[in-house]
Amino acid sequence: MKPKILVLRTAGTNCDEETGFAFARAGGDPAPVHIARLIEKSSLLADFQILCLPGGFSYGDDLSAGKILANQLSIFLQEEILRFIDKGGLVLGICNGFQALVKAGILPGMSRPWRVEATLAANESGRFEARWVSLACPSSVSVFMRGMSALELPVAHAEGRFVPADPEVLSRLRTGRQIALCYTTPDETVPRYPGNPSGSVEGIAGISDPTGRVLGLMPHPERHVFRRQHPAAAARRWAALAAPGSLPPFEEEEGEGLQVFRNAVDSVK
């Protein structure tokens, strides 16, 4: 049977359909569920194998990005989420979902549960950043990043600057192989702005929990499930058309972000 994915929605979520599409494309069975419904009947979570918090602007980011959703998770769903992870469930937070996981204390998840050990602060540029970035995938414990070394994805956020609570948290992230994604340059160094669009510490763009089953990342993998979604795709295709050989249908060429979802689905299978 196809792994079932709960795609969590709330007021302001606006990437749930693309995220569900990406999971379906990867072989999963996604279902949108509103946070109010999950709070009303938290036992619903046990029917799924993957919990995904997609991107968007939950509650308009009125207090800070992801904070209200984070409070709902920590106040109403603590036991259910911990039980879900302990039984082998996977959790993915993209952009606003990453912000919520960090501000709820689910990530980095190195100390006692629900202890906030980092934040995603306002971009150093002081503005909303929407651009494509180059990413390196360090050897990490994350099941979502298996077999991946580098990829390009778009970011779209105003509060994406990863900041650990103290140097000890950063050190434990390194030693625990929890750093899953970093902004990078062709010579594999930590870039300055705009390569590091938010000014994240050490260029961190995504982290895992110690088990590898929870991942949060600021870039949007659901926006690169087809190769044609990349801004350079048209130029590459015209060049390929001039060369001998045939090409698959343009809309069927896979984008690099799809592998994140396929890794999750395959891991559950």
Tell me the catalytic residues.
Answer: 95, 220, 222
Q: Which residue has the tokens 């494509």?
A: 132
Q: Kindly list the distances between the CA atom of residue 215 and the CA atoms of 152, 157, 252, in Å, as whole numbers in the listed order.
A: 17, 18, 27
Q: Is the Cα dihedral 259, 205, 12, 210 positive or negative?
A: positive
The secondary element (H helix, E strand) that includes residue 32 is strand 29-34
Cα–Cα distance, 117 to 166 (Å, whole number): 8
Which residues, in sequence order, are CB contacts of 154 under 8 Å at separation 6+?
Answer: 130, 131, 132, 133, 219, 220, 223, 224
Of the chain, the end-to-end C-alpha distance in Å amounts to: 8
Half-sphere exposure of 165 (CA within 13 A, CB side): 15
Neighbours of 63 (CB within 10 A): 12
